[in-house]
Amino acid sequence: KEGEAGDLSQVLEMSKPPEELSIEGQIADIEFLLKEQAPEEKPKAKEELMQLFENIKSKIGRVEEDSKKRFNLAQTFFQAGLFERALANLNEIEAESDMRFKIIEMKGICLVKLGRFAEALKILPEGLMQAADEVDKLQMRYYSALAYQGQGDYRNALIQLERILRTDEDYQDAKELYELLGGVPIKEEIEPSFEEEVK
């Protein structure tokens, strides 16, 4: 009978040793099974979540940040030796006129401490151009000299160090670096005595 013959052919087919399937065929079968079992995305739920998020975002008011607090935080990181974190906070501060000099100085020092001399030399000269007393610029000049030294520009490093020593001859770090880089000791300009003026 036909039905029995069909059943018999199926039994014989199953009793044959399995043929090796190609790798591509196996991968295709796995992909097909995975697609069948994957849960369908519910786009409606996604849209609802996005709408909820947008509503929350619209209700949050932007609070004006206090730049002095941010500067104090940067100073704390700086004193702890976390120069990257200090720099990140300093970059968030809008340059205000009353704090600009200090922000530039601290940024420059952070960059020198991190070994990013080229970046430091883009910032520090701007601070040296600020209207500040020469005594206030000593530390900035010193770190400028360190940045020049780090780049191998000893001539400009010596120029900065010489300016420091002309303003404050007791600036020990500048004096030591000046001598280390081969600077000629700066002679003090001695005013002639009264007797020498008469001659």
Q: Are 181 and 161 in contact (CB under 8 A)?
A: yes
Place of tokens 């004193």: 79
Of the candidates 122, 87, 121, the residue with the CA atom closest to the CA atom of residue 106: 87
Burial 15-51 (b: 16+ CB within 10 A, else e): eeeeeeeeeeeeeeeeeeeeeeeeeeeeeeeeeeeee
Q: Are 66 and 96 in contact (CB under 8 A)?
A: no
List the pLDDT tens digit at each of the 199 positions of the chain: 444 555 555 555 555 555 555 677 767 777 777 777 666 555 567 787 778 777 776 766 544 557 788 888 889 999 988 999 999 888 888 666 578 888 889 999 999 999 999 999 999 988 888 767 778 888 899 999 999 999 999 999 999 989 988 888 888 888 888 888 887 766 554 444 444 444 4
Structure tokens that stand for 188 in this block: 């003090």
pTM: 0.58
